[in-house]
Amino acid sequence: SEWAAVFHSASCVGTLLDRLCHKVEIVEIAGESWRLKEANERTSRRRSRPPKPPG
């Protein structure tokens, strides 16, 4: 839905995505994702912190 703010019409977006994906190759990487690991660590740190006092 946010593509419409950048491009003039939905057909422009469709054409752009079609051209970008035309000869794409998907590379599957085995192993642990460090981004997912860090995101999980940030989430667990937020949950373990005591709530801030109002003010």
Q: What is the mean pLDDT of residues 33-53?
A: 82
What's the pTM value of the predicted model, to 2 decimals? Answer: 0.35
d(CA 39, CA 37): 6
Q: What is the mean pLDDT of residues 39-55?
A: 77
How does pLDDT run across 13-37, given as a tens digit for each residue?
Answer: 888 888 888 888 888 888 888 899 9
The confidence score (pLDDT) of residue 26 equals 84
Dump the DSSP string for the chain: -THHHHSS-HHHHHHHHHHHHTT-------S--HHHHHHHHHHHHHHHSPPPPP-
The confidence score (pLDDT) of residue 38 equals 92
pLDDT at 51 over 70: no
> Which tokens sit at 47?
């949950």
